[in-house]
Structure 1
Amino acid sequence: MARRDLTGAVDFAYLESFAAGDAQVVDEVLALFREQAAIWSSMLNPASEGWRDAVHTVKGAARGVGAFALGDACEAAEVEGSGKLGGVHDALDAALADVAAYAHERALQSLKTPR
């Protein structure tokens, strides 16, 4: 998996700009996003009492990292109800796949770039 595998689910240029080009900040933010996604996934279930809170939290985090389609899917679930949670899961999976491809590409570049 590498940059060529990006689907556009995350706008990394937005995130890089927001982090003022600080690659370490970008890496830290994406690591937190991935860790939190594991927690969110179990909460994004209509049987979970806190699914609405989880959707709201994911929406903000998604928009913060540039995963705008995920943010929009969360907003749809907030407005239209738990029937939209499948779209949230799909968008979260796409965002996480893009984050993994981006991180993999950065790891490859670090092997090629002299320090």
Structure 2
Amino acid sequence: MNKQAVNVSLLQELVGDDQVVIDEILREFHAMLASIQNDLYEACKTGQCDRACALAHKLKSSARSVGALNLGAWCEQIEQAGRNGQTGVLHELLVGFEHELAAVESWLAHWLGID
């Protein structure tokens, strides 16, 4: 498990120390990841720059708010490449994005007790 994948203390600064609230937010983020990741991957892979930009922007904001800062940084790069119409760069960014996404998903599964 990558301990750096999510810095939950950043989320705690936003919402407090109520574990039920934190878990609920992390569950919602986990569900959002499941719904966005395939669409974002497909948009990057097929050169849909506007769509990749919009999806990366949405995920970037959510990732940063829960403390998944590295994932947010990858999303920012994808967003910028999409905004600039750089389809080749979108393809290149997928490897790092997928690696960080896997780390965040592993961290969330451990935190939330999901198999």
Determine if the TM-score, normalized by the shorter chain, exceeds 0.5. yes
3-state DSSP of counterpart to 1:30: helix
Structure 1: runs of 5 or more not aligned: 105-115
Counterpart CA distance in 1 for 2:18 and 2:72 is 24
Counterpart CA distance in 2 for 1:37 and 1:24 is 20
RMSD (Å), alpha carbons: 1.7
Counterpart CA distance in 2 for 1:89 and 1:31 is 20
- Count of matched residue positions in the alignment of Structure 1 and Structure 2: 100
2:90 counterpart letter in structure 1: S
**Partner of residue 14 from structure 2, selected from 9, 12, 18:** 18
2:63 maps to 1:62: yes
2:103 maps to 1:100: no
3-state DSSP of counterpart to 2:105: helix
Computing the radius of gyration from Cα coordinates, the structure with the larger value is 1
Q: Any conservation in 1 of the 2:57–2:76 contact (CA below 8 Å)?
A: yes
Q: Please give the TM-score of this superposition, normalised by the length of structure 1.
A: 0.77
Counterpart CA distance in 1 for 2:97 and 2:90 is 10
Q: Please give the TM-score of this superposition, normalised by the length of structure 2.
A: 0.77
How far residue 99 of structure 1 moved from its aligned partner, in angstroms, is: 1.2
1:21–1:33 distance in 2 versus 1, CA, 3 Å: same
Counterpart CA distance in 1 for 2:75 and 2:106 is 18
Q: Any conservation in 2 of the 1:70–1:91 contact (CA below 8 Å)?
A: yes
For 2:79, the equivalent position in structure 1 comes to 78
1:93 counterpart letter in structure 2: A
